[in-house]
Amino acid sequence: MADTLSKRVSLIELFYDLVFVYMVSQATGLIHHLHHGVVSLTTLGIFFLVVIVFINSWMVQMVFTNRYGKSSWTNIIFSFVDMAIVLYMSNAFTATFDRKLATFFIAAGLLSLTLCLQYLITYFQAKKEVDKKITVAFTGILGFRTVTLVIGGFFYNTWGIAIALAGIVVSWIAPAFTGKYTRHHPIIFSHILERLTALIIVMFGETIVGIADYFTRETLSWPSILIFLVVVGLFFTYIVEFDHLIDEHRCKETGNLLIYLHYFILFGLSMVTVALRFIHEPEANHVFAVTFLYVGILLFYIGLDIANYYNQRHLRVSPVVKGAFIAVTLAGYLVSLTSHEFALLTLVAALVTVINAGMLVRFLIKQNQ
């Protein structure tokens, strides 16, 4: 039965995650640099584009492994090939639409092709009609992305770039519409949850690396501790939701909502990571820096709020708690806009994330009494 199924996260999967540690570092590096006090729209666009390609590829591989993955030499070889491609892709983009991005498109097309081939092989091995329909759907999605990315790479002009971008966006959204097939072969929820949690740990690792410069002999101060508390508050909130409130034994799930809500968390955490780096820089536009930080925090909380759908019935977060989250975060944002003092900015941000984490912990304790 689906509700008794489980799958152990393999060491190959964990090894596969290592290349994404480097990818995350390279991608967030795009928005570390300010231009006239802000991050340009072009740079932000490329950042979101690159992250979508990488993370969507990771998600597709995760879902494939969840449904069809085996400890076979074929799957292991594909994993190692994909790792090599991701490593190359991580060095194949810049903050502008220069010729280097053409190389990124081609490499991304090759990565999509390897994912497509895995589904194609499974199609010929599948015995159930539903599995044939699922593999046909994903083969089509990944094949479409492969073709559009290769076109964008080899014909790197306005039309080529537009085709590549369309391919990325369409193939990113399209899996959300495969539910009519995938609901008949549900995912193993506990495995998906564990894999997504591991991905978020990678992202938090990049956040820790990002704030490490505040913890040197020359820079260590009270704001350093407060910045660390900002990260701790966000991490604790994530733990409470995904380790205590969520029902990890759910069955008959496609996993689509769980996957897409993590994009909010991933983008939000990336923005917080970068904002904590440049919020103290004199050349940073104050309004932009503060807004960037709190939009990141907001996106993170939106992802957690959507995850409330998967919570145990008696642990669905109440509207009162949600309203308090909004009020505290908004108050923190408005107060931060009024001051350029670095110590005050870090104090307010720390209070926002720690208070919100505390409210969620209090809710958990109260509901379990």
pLDDT tens-digit profile of 91-126? 887 766 667 788 899 999 999 999 999 999 999 998
Please report the pLDDT score of residue 278 as a whole number. 86
Strand locations in 141-298 (E): none
Give which of 283, 209, 254, 212 is closest to 34, Cα–Cα: 283
For the stretch 285-336, pLDDT in tens is 999 999 999 999 999 999 999 999 999 888 999 899 999 999 999 999 999 9
Tell whether the model's pLDDT for residue 276 goes beyond 60.
Answer: yes
Alpha carbon of residue 284 to chain centroid? 26
For tokens 């900002």, the residue is 230
Report which secondary-structure segment, H or E, holds 105.
Answer: helix 100-125
pLDDT band at 3 (very low <50, low <70, confident <90, very high): very low
Q: What is the dihedral of CA 254, 257, 263, 269, to 10 degrees?
A: -120
Position 308 scores a pLDDT of 93
Write the pLDDT tens digit of every residue in 333-349.
Answer: 999 999 889 999 999 99
CB atoms within 10 A of CB 100: 12
Q: Where is pLDDT greater, at 292 or 8?
A: 292
Does residue 257 surpass a pLDDT of 90?
yes
Contact of 364 with 315, CB cutoff 8 Å: yes
Question: What value does the mean pLDDT of the chain take?
Answer: 90
- Percent pLDDT > 90 in the chain is 61
